[in-house]
Chains A and B, each alone.
Chain A
Amino acid sequence: MRFDTSPAPHVIAGYTVPRVMFQVLLALVPAGIAHVALFGPGLLLQLSVACVTALLTEAAALRWRGRDAVPALKDGSVLVTAFLLAFSVPPLLPWWLGALGTALAVLLGKHVFGGLGQNPFNPAMVGYAILLVSFPAEMTRWPVPLDVDGTHTWPELARLSFASFYGADLTSHWDGYTGATALDSIRNGLALRYTLPELLGRGDIAGEFGARGFAWINLAALAGGIYLMARGIVRWHIPVAVLAGLLVPSFIAHALDSGGALAPTLQAFSGATMLAAFFIATDPVSAATSDRGRLWYGAGIGLIAWIIRTWGGYPDGFAFAVLLLNLAVPFIDRYTVPRIYGR
């Protein structure tokens, strides 16, 4: 009896890229629920425009590059980019900005470099950074979250979200419903010579354990991140290093100047900290290669984010921190090659 021959190994574990991507999306669900509960359904609107734009842009880009579109679309990687971008931008972003950001993320962040596996930069962060720098007003306008006492109701936030999504002018009727994020308010307050205790005492910036609204989203993202680590999709090195890079300087600064420097808990549970640590910085394509390299990579991201938050012009520094460390990855890789057994 004759047989076909083929090289070893004859079995594989059966992990696939779509499965990895799907697990990441699943882990984002808790954060999504918290987001919608506290900031209204705007996230869902952003998700829909981001996902549709991402898929269409990817299909077009693949066509343009002469590649087969369907297998690449099925791998789900562009959906992860869309999700991360949708989570990072304010839920009130007009639809055409969401579409622009996503299209730029897919084109300039991924396909211009050769598609899946070739991008040196995190595509979602490329899109976010372009939007932030080009449209600073729209990109820093968040709804006042529902866990600030005595403000609004969820249906009102829903109406606001739809209105803003379709491009309504928010300065007239919706004025009291929007504002800066907690980190933004703190930064502005400190610049106006208020102390932290004064700012935090007002109660509308931060709650029991973190920034209003964002604390719950961060907690949910942390839960999702732990799930990913338990499933082996994400290894501990990058998240732990990012948090250490952010919280260690924060701890020191807060110990030295508790009136002017944010406490580590506030740093950890505000802005995009947990999202960045577990979902954004862990993008494997643009991260460092070896475990030791990933520790340096994560620590660098945390540290630069802390620097931007403390002294920089933007309220949350993770997007730029990630992009800067993406630049540094070849350098990190060169000096953190693991020792080969026997050498």
Chain B
Amino acid sequence: MNPAALIVALLVAVALAVALGVALGWAASRIEPDSDSLVERIDALLPQTQCGQCLYPGCRPYAAAIASGEADIDRCPPGGDATVRALAALLDRAPRPVDPAFGAPKPAQVAWIDEEKCIGCARCLPACPVDAIIGASRHMHTVIAAQCTGCELCLPPCPVDCIELRPATATSLRYRQSRAA
């Protein structure tokens, strides 16, 4: 093989590599990535239970912690393994089960106030992170099942232990069924 041909081939290859590299770079700068920030994209994958089992005060702070690298992705029991897998796919990490130190995944549940026992003290109302309990001082309280995320934050404040968690049924999960078209 004559050396001139070799050099020509080499130069052609280098020229192609440079040209294609420039083209790719230009294309990358022109194609916009998702406008949502990383925190929002992580938050969109979390179940919004706002329960604090991850030791952050809500889902959004946890999403921020994941984005900043402060927290790992396996801390969300209500999201379960499915959420960890989704986060792993988003962040290109290895999926794994939920860390049992933060709680055990439970089936969907909603809180229910036993009206026989409720004394109307209104201590559970401010505890609910999504304002799903309605009532007022010295009036009967009740949980709006369709809004309840099952976070269990209303249990500790209740002085008479009248709140219990029940498995969510299709009816209570059926969210604004008239809207589903």
A and B in contact, CB less than 8 Å: no
B residues lining the A interface (CB < 8 Å): none
